[in-house]
Chain A
Amino acid sequence: MLTLLCCLLANPTAEPDTWSTIAPIVATHCADCHQDTGAAPFPLLCHDDLSRRRRFVAEILRRQLMPPWLPGDGGLPVHDDRSMPEAERTRLISWLEAGAPVGNAAEPPTTITPPEPKALPPGTVTVPLKEPFSIPAETIENEHRHHQDTWTFVMPLENDEPMHVQGVGWSTAAPAAIHTVTLLADDRCRGRNRDDYDPRVGYERDGDLDQDISGSFGALGVGLSRMMLPDGFHWTIPPASDLVVELKYRPVGRELPLRDAVQLVPADPSGSRSVIPVVTGLNRVRLDAGQADYTEEDRFVLPEDFDVVAVLPRGRNECRSMRLTAELPSGEERVLMDIPEWDAHYRRPFVFRNVQSLPAGTTLTSRFTLDNSDANPRNPYDPPEDLRIGRRTGVVCFTLLGAGRSETESQTLMDASKWTMDRRGMKNIPMRTPIPPTPTP
């Protein structure tokens, strides 16, 4: 009776839901990943797929764990939005709790046809992994405790000329195991040098190179196999570059060989601007085991006009929430990204539907709340351990991808960002001293 009441409240004007009315919701929000070749561990394409997991799926939906979507309601509209409207969530849960009724028993329940993978645009360059690599069956303890389940590969491009790229993609043989791929172009053999120190295929570290943060040249996440910049923006890969690719994976209990490849979608550079990264965040975190509800923020004042096209958040799972705001010189405050429940597993880039034009003098404020207690169910360590970690590129941070009005202004923005992040990490400068003013170029 209660379930029926819930159904009526969620869908007051219609008949109680059956598979025929629920299937479109599943097709829209679940089928992209929950298919045989998708990122999810089991398919959700037919009535039986849901019916025999109805309590589990209802619980996952009730706890907002699926569909995976990090931004809260307060942020700006972005492409590839996977959020599920509450009314549809309620209807799906109510239908599952009602025993997942098929409806018309005379007709066999329909099966959802999963969406076709998007065709690669003409001229796309595919760069495969050069050597075989397998994701291990379970996490291997390694010497870099903060880089576990992370592996980096150097993929030579052998390009004589600069490459102009509007989109990046990743095709994988293990979609259920790989959760984040971040890219960086390297024309100074820094990735190769790191690779040389590790005798294995690839190397066991993150993909950052010195002050350059991985993801500056694009990123992919769970269920997001391609990232496209809006028209008018592109990445410029210098001649004779390597792609340095950081894979974050989640072992699935058995070894998974990869036959993966990067795809580079070409751009027409005429009338288009080259995208650069601006980073704001914390580059040193000291949290005692058990320390909860710790909040800190970073501020960065833009020295030039900056057109932001995308944001890539980064954080370990001691981080519970993060928020990025822009205070414009006019006094307007804009929430660029608000993530009330951070989960590193679902890290991905967010490409804004509308380019965010931020004038010089805009203050970017990134705010992070961390919890290193056992009350944080995602705490990587049980029991919690002291967290002492520093990275010049940012331990918890936002990478904003965008462009200045000119190449010179872009360079100024990038240099100021690196200078600020680097200076905060220098010895003898306490973390919460006021940020020094951005240097005048």
Chain B
Amino acid sequence: MPTQRFAHVLTCVLMLSGLAGCSGSPSLTDHSGVQHTPLAGEPGDLVVVVFSSTDCPIANAMAPDIERASIETTEAGGRFYLVHARTDLPDERTRDHASRYKLSMPVIVDRSHTLVKLLGATVTPEAFVLRIDENGGHTVLYQGSVNNLYGSVGNRRVNVTEHHLRDAIRSAAAEEAVVPSRRTPFGCFIERN
């Protein structure tokens, strides 16, 4: 798949430039100072990455649902990362945001937009459910919205009735196909570097 090939080449370039971990996957530090390589792991590992922003009202409104998705991922044996797609976010603000919104998962600030570019994230919140491959790469099982709280930008519903991300996590954890594998996410644009 051309996109994956490009991502692999990009990873190699990043590795050579020192931005990627020794396995070839980007290595980033979370808000507690712990180092993570979200896209690396054992073959078959389930990894969920949700791009967010501390001041995006759409992403923040979904924080409780994102936290529930994180718990379900961990219970299914997977790893969950919240990634702030901001280049200039101080660690203190990230910690404060995680505390106020009661987020328990590792929170990473993707200051160089490495993960943003590797996965092709466009807005916050945007979720990716991934499976680590035999060759150390990854397969995107689901990409898109967290839930249906927003019908479009500016049009918010009262209730969430469809939990797109959590459904995808359950399907992936049960080794079932994630259908649909893409849903349009509505949110705040990520301004690329």
Contacts and interface: CB of A to CB of B under 8 A. Distances in A.
B75 interface: no
B161 A382 contact: yes
A4 B11 CA distance: 36
Interface stretch (A104-112, A124-132, A133-141): A133-141
B1 interface: no
Contacts of B56: 41
B102 interface: yes
A42 B161 CA distance: 27
A290 to B, nearest CB: 15
B158 A254 contact: no
A54 interface: yes
B153 A63 contact: yes
Interface string B139-183: 000000000100111111111111000000000000000000000
Contacts of B153: 59-60, 63, 65
A149 B158 contact: yes
Contact of B189 (A56, A250, A377): A56
**Chain A: number of interface residues, binned into ranges:** 20 to 34
Contacts of A54: 191
Chain B, interface SS category: loop
Given A41-B60, A252-B60, A253-B62, A59 B189 contact: yes
A380 B158 contact: yes
Chain B interface size, under 10 / 10 to 19 / 20 to 34 / 35 or more = 20 to 34
A253 B60 contact: yes
B188 interface: yes
B161 A253 contact: no
A148 interface: yes
A137 B66 CA distance: 12
A209 B7 CA distance: 61
A148 B151 CA distance: 18
A251 interface: yes
Contacts of B151: 377-379, 382
A303 B55 CA distance: 52
Given A54-B191, A60-B153, 11 more contacts: A52-B191, A53-B189, A137-B63, A138-B61, A139-B158, A252-B60, A252-B61, A253-B64, A379-B151, A381-B159, A382-B162
20 contacts: A53-B191, A56-B188, A137-B102, A138-B160, A139-B158, A148-B159, A176-B57, A251-B61, A253-B61, A254-B60, A377-B152, A378-B156, A378-B157, A379-B157, A381-B157, A381-B159, A382-B148, A382-B151, A382-B161, A383-B161
Interface of A: 41-42, 52-56, 59-60, 63, 65, 137-139, 141, 148-149, 176, 250-254, 345, 377-383
Give the 5 A-B residue pairs with the shortest CB-CB distance, closest first.
A377-B151, A253-B63, A41-B57, A377-B155, A65-B154
